[in-house]
Amino acid sequence: MNTATSHELFTRALDLMPGGVNSPVRAFKSVGGEPFFAASAEGAYLVDVDGNRYVDYIGSWGPMIAGHAHPKVLDAVASTMRKGLSFGVPNALEVTMAETVRKLVPSMQMMRMVNSGTEATLSAIRLARGATGRTRIVKFEGCYHGHGDSFLVKAGSGALTFGLPNSPGVPKALADLTLTLPYNDFEAATTLFAEMGDQIAGVIVEPIVGNANCILPREGYLQHLRDLCTQSGAILIFDEVMTGFRVALGGAQARYGVTPDLSTFGKIIGGGMPVGAYGGRADLMQQIAPAGPVYQAGTLSGNPVAMAAGLATLGIIQGPGFYERLESATHVLCDGLEAAAHDAGVPVTTTRSCAMFGLFFTDRQVETFADAVACDTAAFNRFFHAMLRRGVYFAPSAFEAGFLSSAHGEEELAFTLQAAREAFKEVAAG
Ligand SMILES: Cc1ncc(COP(=O)(O)O)c(C=O)c1O
Ligand SMILES: N[C@H](C=O)CCC(=O)O
């Protein structure tokens, strides 16, 4: 495999950007080797600057649920941008976006568009604090909510991958206000609320944890958090930046039938452009400036080109059978990966929820963060490179979920599973 141009770019980048990248996980530091540099992407495929083609199971970390460079999204972006890139005054697409989101996710009675998932979560937690007058927040070990200071405590994603779950630079006084719980542990949550429930402003949770690989909620767990928050007056925030519009049209809250007070979105809602959103109960959102006293703002928020890309994507995913097809493709992939691993004698288990999946190198079922970190990351790293060499790109970390798009058809799945049969044999050989 020729990677000369990527190598040359990475060498230059290392001198210019920390780790040679603009976001840590993509540096390949935990799996070893060097990242490839993308030249283009279409459908289920990424093409690098040396002309290598990969079936892509990241989809830009989630936004590309309709596949890369979908013609409807490109057309919407092209026609919108000709009218101007940014206005700094309200535009009609923002209103259409909010109406569309509220139709698909009814708990989003009112909302605010922002520019990233990070902005959405840190705005939501500020609102929870402002509305309750309390300061403590609760998050879960291995969950990642972007890089806001309050969230870099036992954080997942790159923070977990690189062993930096509690980042230097976050004042201790602030970090002390973040309480952490083990995800899926009913008893621990009950105990914490019994001790400190009246001090907790909000609970923020990835309803399906996608930043410590992919861990599904135990039956009744999200409802348990709902009940604890209702009883104590804490605000329940579902961080649906990853799960929103991915595990169901109405997100994880629709899939599990649990209604949060606030939700955060990102990724798919922007169709590949930098977008996030937060919203929920109207009485809470009315406390955001200028309607209320809790301040939050953004020069480019509601950007028309970003709204156009997001709206086009939200249009595509409402097509008939869209999620049914995604769900069955994910089953084909995960069942096939488990079978291929089993045939090679490599212990592997998968988790899946519609268009999102986890691949764990263990023979045990994974239901907790402790289960996830106990898996064989060295075996994952070997598998990752064996797949990459065969033209399949999984996340370059054992602690990230995988994503399918509607462009992953029979051909791509068959190609992936053939590569996996060979790759697992390579892993077994050591
Ligand atoms: C669940 C979750 N919340 C928040 C974020 C932060 O989003 P962003 O990277 O757009 O700031 C991410 C991803 O990075 C995420 O997966
Ligand atoms: N897990 C993160 C987002 O979901 C990975 C993306 C990033 O941090 O670059």
Give the CATH number for residue 330: 3.90.1150.10
d(CA 38, CA 317): 25
Expressed in angstroms and rounded, the spacing between residue 58 Cα and the centre of ligand 2 is 10
Please give the positions annotated as active site. Answer: 144, 239, 267
Q: Both 243 and 137 in a single domain?
A: yes
Q: What is the model's pLDDT at position 384?
A: 98
Q: Both 157 and 249 in a single domain?
A: yes
- Per-position b or e across 160-199, b if 16+ CB within 10 A of its CB: bbbeebeeeebeeeebebbbbbebbbeeebeebbeeebee
Answer with the one of 289, 316, 343 that is the final residue of a domain: 316
Tokens of 72: 């409807």
Q: Both 293 and 362 in a single domain?
A: no
Tokens of 12: 């230059």
Q: What is the model's pLDDT at position 161?
A: 81
Per-residue confidence band for 354, with pLDDT thresholds at 50, 70 and 90:
very high
Residue 165 has pLDDT above 90, yes or no: no
> Which ligand is located closest to the Cα atom of residue 274?
1
Answer with the one of 263, 281, 316 that is the final residue of a domain: 316
d(CA 258, CA 239): 13
What atom of ligand 1 comes closest to residue 274's alpha carbon? 10
Positions of E strands within 345-424: 349-353, 356-360, 392-393, 402-403
360 strand-pairing partners: 349
Task: Report long-range pairs for 374-378 (Cβ below 8 Å, ≥24 apart).
Answer: 375/213, 376/347, 377/30
Q: Both 153 and 200 in a single domain?
A: yes
Cα distances (angstroms) measured from residue 384 to each of 70, 115, 331, 424, 429: 27, 31, 20, 10, 15
Give, using CA atoms, the residue closest to atom 4 of ligand 1. Answer: 145
Neighbour count for residue 332 (Cβ, 10 Å): 16
Residue 211: CB within 6 Å of ligand 2?
yes
Q: Both 301 and 325 in a single domain?
A: no
Q: What is the model's pLDDT at position 301?
A: 98
Q: What is the model's pLDDT at position 164?
A: 73
203-228 mean pLDDT: 98
* Domain CATH for 165: 3.40.640.10
Residue 163 has pLDDT above 80, yes or no: no
39-66 mean pLDDT: 98
Task: Determine contact, residues 308/136, Cβ cutoff 8 Å.
Answer: no
State the virtual CA torsion across 353, 358, 360, 364 in degrees, nearest 10: -20
Expressed in angstroms and rounded, the spacing between residue 242 Cα and the centre of ligand 1 is 7
Expressed in angstroms and rounded, the spacing between residue 303 Cα and the centre of ligand 1 is 19
Q: What is the model's pLDDT at position 380?
A: 98
Average pLDDT, the chain: 97
Task: Determine contact, residues 126/202, Cβ cutoff 8 Å.
Answer: no
Q: What is the model's pLDDT at position 337?
A: 98
d(CA 8, CA 49): 10
Task: Determine contact, residues 93/307, Cβ cutoff 8 Å.
Answer: yes
Q: Both 264 and 351 in a single domain?
A: no
Q: Both 26 and 154 in a single domain?
A: no
Residue 354 sits at φ, ψ, to 5 deg, of: 50, -110
> Which ligand is located closest to the Cα atom of residue 118?
1
276 strand-pairing partners: 114, 266
Task: Determine contact, residues 238/88, Cβ cutoff 8 Å.
Answer: no
pTM higher than the cut 0.95: yes
Q: Both 126 and 200 in a single domain?
A: yes
Task: Give me the domain span that covers residue 21.
Answer: 4-65+320-429
Neighbour count for residue 8 (Cβ, 10 Å): 13
Neighbour count for residue 18 (Cβ, 10 Å): 10
Task: Determine contact, residues 262/284, Cβ cutoff 8 Å.
Answer: yes
Neighbour count for residue 370 (Cβ, 10 Å): 14
Please tell me the number of Cα atoms within 13 Å of 241 on its side-chain side: 31
Give, using CA atoms, the residue closest to atom 4 of ligand 2. Answer: 61
Q: What is the model's pLDDT at position 8?
A: 98
70: left (phi over 0), alpha (psi -120 to 50) or beta: beta
Tokens of 148: 């806001």
Expressed in angstroms and rounded, the spacing between residue 25 Cα and the centre of ligand 2 is 7
331-354 mean pLDDT: 98
Q: Give the percent of the chain with pLDDT over 90.
A: 97
Please tell me the number of Cα atoms within 13 Å of 207 on its side-chain side: 36
pLDDT digit string, tens, across residues 368-395: 999 999 999 999 999 999 999 999 999 9
Q: What is the model's pLDDT at position 405?
A: 98
Nearest to 39 by CA among 71, 9, 75: 9
Residue 213: CB within 6 Å of ligand 2?
no
Q: Both 231 and 103 in a single domain?
A: yes
242: left (phi over 0), alpha (psi -120 to 50) or beta: alpha
Please tell me the number of Cα atoms within 13 Å of 116 on its side-chain side: 9
Q: Both 296 and 350 in a single domain?
A: no
147-151 mean pLDDT: 96
What atom of ligand 2 comes closest to residue 242's alpha carbon? 4
What atom of ligand 1 comes closest to residue 267's alpha carbon? 10
Expressed in angstroms and rounded, the spacing between residue 345 Cα and the centre of ligand 1 is 35
In terms of C-beta density within 10 A (0-12 exposed, 13-18 middle, 19 or more buried), how is residue 422 classed?
middle
Q: Both 266 and 324 in a single domain?
A: no
Q: What is the model's pLDDT at position 395?
A: 97
Task: Determine contact, residues 152/159, Cβ cutoff 8 Å.
Answer: yes
> Which ligand is located closest to the Cα atom of residue 147?
1
Which residues form the pocket of ligand 1, taking CB atoms under 6 Å from any ligand atom?
Answer: 116-118, 121, 144-146, 206, 210-211, 239, 241-242, 266, 276
Residue 167 has pLDDT above 90, yes or no: no
DSSP 212: S
Whose structure tokens read 């200071």? 149
35-39 mean pLDDT: 98
Instruction: Provide the number of structural domains found in the chain.
Output: 2
Q: What is the model's pLDDT at position 166?
A: 83
What atom of ligand 2 comes closest to residue 26's alpha carbon? 9
Residue 35 has pLDDT above 80, yes or no: yes
What atom of ligand 1 comes closest to residue 240's alpha carbon? 1
Neighbour count for residue 240 (Cβ, 10 Å): 31
Answer with the one of 297, 316, 335 that is the final residue of a domain: 316
Q: What is the model's pLDDT at position 160?
A: 84
Per-residue confidence band for 86, with pLDDT thresholds at 50, 70 and 90:
very high
Integer Rg of the chain from CA: 21
Q: Give the percent of the chain with pLDDT over 70.
A: 100
- Prediction ipTM score: 0.98
Residue 369: CB within 6 Å of ligand 2?
no
Q: What is the model's pLDDT at position 74?
A: 98
Q: Both 210 and 355 in a single domain?
A: no
Per-residue confidence band for 286, with pLDDT thresholds at 50, 70 and 90:
very high
pLDDT digit string, tens, across residues 100-139: 999 999 999 999 999 999 999 999 999 999 999 999 999 9
251-280 mean pLDDT: 98
